[in-house]
Amino acid sequence: MTEKIILASGSPFRKAMLAHAGLDIEAVPADVDERALEAPLEGVSPEDVASILAEAKATEVSERRPGALVLGCDQTLSLGDEVFHKPADMESARRHLLALSGKTHQLNSAAVLCRNGEVLWRHVGVASLTMRQLDPAFIGRHLARVGAKALSSVGAYQIEGEGIQLFEKIEGDYFTIVGLPLLPVLAKLRELGAIDG
């Protein structure tokens, strides 16, 4: 017997990951203003920012869906102390890739499980990615090839696609990089009896 899990996200990538793992998923995007929540968090680590945003999403949806087990997720990209957000346009995507070129950044993927507005569990998976030194002209050609897909992730790349060519070294779990620390989530769902285990 498995329980339907509510995903507090409109992310097709996260929903697909969970569905491919055999979970009964319903996506209910959270009604939260991420930038407004983030504004007072100066000095908070990028990992904690991701966790706070994931909790806000899970809590908001779980209060609307009494009794349901709700999974909230968020991901931050950090380069030193700087936190990156999804690029607004192709020029922002170009600036992201120029800033990340030749450097190692972190992806911090948070997952929070809530029921009735109460946090049951939280986890942040961290991956380190080293981008190779990129020629500005190559960045332009790359963005022209991938198009609007570059605007759908915080780093302006998708490692599950052509974006993998931007990297020389990756340390961390694939699922964490794509935006959901799936193995810890599945382990907790089994522990809670929400999925067969």
Domain that residue 134 falls in: 5-191
CATH for 58 = 3.90.950.10
- Please state the domain count of the chain: 1
User: What's this model's pTM, rounded to 2 decimal places?
Assistant: 0.90
Confidence at residue 129, expressed as pLDDT on a 0 to 100 scale: 98
pLDDT at residue 35 above 90? Answer: no
Which phi-psi region, left, alpha or beta, contains residue 171 (left: φ > 0; alpha: ψ -120 to 50)? beta
Percent of the chain past pLDDT 90, that is, above it, reads 79
In a domain, 147, yes or no: yes
pLDDT score of 1 = 53
Q: What is the pLDDT of residues 127-158, one digit of tens each?
A: 999 999 999 999 999 999 999 999 988 899 99
Please report whether residue 196 resides in a domain.
no
Give the CA distances from residue 7 to residues 22, 145, 149, 169, 193, in Å, rounded to whole numbers and listed in that order.
14, 31, 22, 31, 17
List the catalytic residues.
74
Is 96 domain-assigned? yes
At residue 11, the pLDDT reads 85
Provide the token pair at 161: 């696609």
